[in-house]
Amino acid sequence: MAAKPKTFDGVIRTSVEKMAVPLGALSSLSTIVMMVAISVDVIARNTTGEPIPGLLELSEMALVATVFLGISYAGTTNAHVSVDLLTSKLPVRTSRFLSGLMWLLGSGMVVWFIAATFDRAMQSTEMSEVTLGLVVWPIWPARWLIVIGFVAFLIVALANTYLSFRNEPLLGEENSSQPAEYELESPGLENTAPEVDETEKKL
């Protein structure tokens, strides 16, 4: 049997998810690195009275990776905090249109963020910006992680803008629970009441 051709909406969803999932995995890995680094540093301070050089700088860079590499994955799974007190009372088409306007406005703001952080990352790279502490730690890689995170989130925002104006579910919404009117009844459970024998009815 020939496979059904993918729709453009499906291609967008698949492509964005393939981009965001690795970034989300790196974000989770950075969280683990940050937790281990902080724990080891705390243990070293309590046992020896001195911190381990470099762990503070490592945890700071891991924090940047955790936050900015994870925002695109949160966008694809619909995990960002949202307040639907008003839109939940509106018709679905109207709600998605308003959602598209918000995502479009958000896309414009993210473009502004990208321009600002890209310029700062370029300056940091040219001057080989480093920290001033016990360990000389380069800062410029972390600034590029911010740019990468915003670029990935812009792609998610544009995809959600397109899907909203197409009256399609946002990224991550297709896996949410369906309304009650779309729930399928289990076969064989339409009539579970016990049958009453004709003789019992006469009695």
pLDDT tens-place string over residues 102-120 = 899 999 999 999 999 999 9
CA 120, CA 202: separation in Å to the nearest integer? 89
Domain assignment present for 19: yes
Neighbours of 57 (CB within 10 A): 20
User: For the chain, what is the mean pLDDT?
Assistant: 81
Q: Using 50, 70 and 90 to split pLDDT, how confident is the model at 186? A: very low
Instruction: Indicate whether 181 belongs to any domain.
Output: no
Q: What is the pTM of this model?
A: 0.76
Q: What angle do CA 11, 16, 19 make, to 5 degrees?
A: 130
d(CA 176, CA 44): 45
| CA angle, 21 then 172 then 10, to 5° | 80
Confidence of residue 89 (pLDDT cuts 50, 70, 90): confident
Residue 182, pLDDT score = 35
pLDDT value at residue 174: 65
Does residue 186 lie within any of the structural domains? no
User: Could you tell me the end-to-end alpha-carbon distance of the chain, in angstroms, rounded to an integer?
Assistant: 59
Task: Quickly count: other Cβ atoms within 10 Å of residue 198's Cβ.
Answer: 7
Q: With bands split at pLDDT 50, 70 and 90, how would you rate the model's confidence at 183? A: very low
Domain assignment of residue 3, yes or no: no
Q: CA-CA distance, 76 to 12, in Å (whole number)?
A: 11
Does residue 6 fall inside a structural domain?
A: no
12 φ/ψ angles, rounded to the nearest 5 degrees: -60, -45
Tokens read off for 2 = 């020939």
pLDDT (0 to 100) of residue 198: 53
193 occurs within a structural domain? no
pLDDT at 101 over 50: yes
**Residue 168 above 80 pLDDT?**
yes
Q: Is residue 5 part of a domain?
A: no
Q: Which residue has the higher pLDDT, 102 or 9?
A: 102
Q: Any idea which of 43-52, 154-163, 187-196 has the lowest mean pLDDT?
A: 187-196
Q: What angle do CA 6, 77, 7 make, to 5 degrees?
A: 10
22 domain residue, yes or no: yes
What's the chain's length in residues?
A: 203
Domain span including residue 124: 11-79+89-170
Number of domains in the chain: 1
In the chain, pLDDT over 70 holds for what percent of residues?
80
